[in-house]
Structures are given as structure tokens and as C-alpha cells.
Structure 1
Amino acid sequence: MYDSTDIQSNKGMAILGYILFFIPLIAAKESKYAWYHANQGLTLFLAWVIVNVVLGIIPFIGWILQPIANLALVVLAVLGIVAAAQGQVKPLPIIGGYTLLK
């Protein structure tokens, strides 16, 4: 499904997909591997926005849970970066099943 030469030549773009998801979409348009990880990065970014908006609105309990949720999202980002660096195509836990980019 994913070409080994594509994986080897686009690992950097795949890693960058978790930091700035739109860069691989512009710079690696032909790479399915980079697009996969950019999709994971976009999903992670949207989860971060939703978590911070929702928990920011909820007084007290939301404010207590917000740092914990952000830490969990950072852990997911690290897991994604490690998978991209190792040449793996594996979805992030919990949120990785969503495909936003085709």
C-alpha cells in the first residue's frame, strides 16, 4: 500500500505533519505516506481545538481537566512522530481512525 521509497524519502515531511499539518500537504503532494501523517496531524489539531474550547468553557472541572487533556494530546503527538520516524503507518490511539484528507 505504501511504497518503501516514498516512506524513506518523506519521513521528514511525515514528522512535520504532526507539528504543522499543512506543510506536507503543500511540499509533498505526491506522497501518500506524508499525507497519511498530515491527516493524523490535522485530526490531532482539531481534537486539541475542540478539547480546549469545550473544557475552557466549563468552569472549575473543565479548567482542572484541560491540562490533563493537553498532556494526553502531547503524548499522542509524540507517538505519531515516533511512528512517522520509524516508517510506520499506524493510527493514533482514540482519534486516529478518522480520515479527514483524501
Structure 2
Amino acid sequence: MSGQNTKTSLGLSENIEALLSYVFGWLTGAIFLVLEKENKFVRFHALQSLVTFLALFILSTVIRLIPILGLLLSPLIAIASMVLWLVLLYKAYMGEKYKLPVIGTWVEKQIDKE
């Protein structure tokens, strides 16, 4: 668990910045990845948000183009995305470096290279 009172380059607590990096999915992930230069905890969550929700956005867009399958799978992807979003918001706010199985491992390697 990371320190929830640790300051960041934007002057917010790191758990608040990590939470905010998920608020609007990949968009806020990209914003916080650019704005936060120092804090690896926030950068981890920002990059995980960017990769996860951009991939889900692309997947749902492509699935919707498939006639019958799209109608069946789109609602399931939307529900799974919402649940995942809520879990990631909560974990970030609680100061946890919660890694998603494949994406989280890749993101951690990218952040550790910095």
C-alpha cells in the first residue's frame, strides 16, 4: 500500500491523482501520464488506465461492427468495463497498486524502466 499523503508534482495526494487518472478512462489516464512526472504510483495507474480503457474502447467499437455478435457482446463488454472501472477507482483511492493480470504487468515494466 502506498502512502496516501505523499505529494505529487501537481500537489495532490497520490491516491487522489491515481483515482483521477481513471475517472474518464483512457483520456484522464493520458492526461495524468503527461502531467505527473515524478510519482511512479500515479504514473502506474495513469498508464494502466490509458492502456486498459483504450483497449476496451477499441474492442467495443470493433465488436459493434459485427452484425449479430455485436448486439450480444456490446452490453457485456460495457458491464464488464463498468465493474472494472469501479474496482480500479476504489483500489487507486485506497492507495493500492492493483495490477491487472496482463496489462498491469506490462505497465509495471514500462514504469520501472523510467
Provide TM-score, normalisation by structure 2: 0.73
Identity fraction in percent: 33
Alignment gaps of 5+ in structure 2: none
Matches within 5 A, 1:64-79: 64-79=72-87
Residue 69 to residue 93, structure 1, CA distance change in 2 (3 Å): farther
Structure 1 residue 97, shift from structure 2 partner: 3.3
1:11 aligns with 2:15: yes
The structure richer in helix per residue is: 2
Amino acid at match of 1:48: L
Show the counterpart of 1:38: 46
Pick which of 88-97 and 75-84 moved more.
Answer: 88-97
Q: Which amino acid aligns with 2:70?
A: G
Aligned residue number for residue 90 of structure 1? 98
- Does structure 2 conserve the Cα–Cα contact (< 8 Å) formed by 1:21 and 1:38? yes
The alignment covers a number of residue pairs equal to 101
1:3–1:55 CA distance, 2 compared to 1 (3 A): closer
Q: Single out whichever of 34-43 and 46-55 deviates more from structure 2.
A: 46-55
Q: Distance in 2 between matches of 1:61 and 1:82?
A: 32
- What root-mean-square deviation, in Å, do the aligned CA atoms of Structure 1 and Structure 2 show? 2.5
TM-score, normalising length: structure 1: 0.80
Separation in structure 2 between the aligned mates of residue 77 and residue 94 of structure 1, nearest angstrom: 16
User: Is the alpha carbon distance of 1:25 and 1:6 closer, same or farther for their aligned partners in structure 2, counting shifts above 3 Å?
Assistant: same
Matched position secondary structure for 1:17: helix
Looking at structure 2, the residues matched to 62 and 95 of structure 1 have their Cα atoms a distance apart, in angstroms, of 24
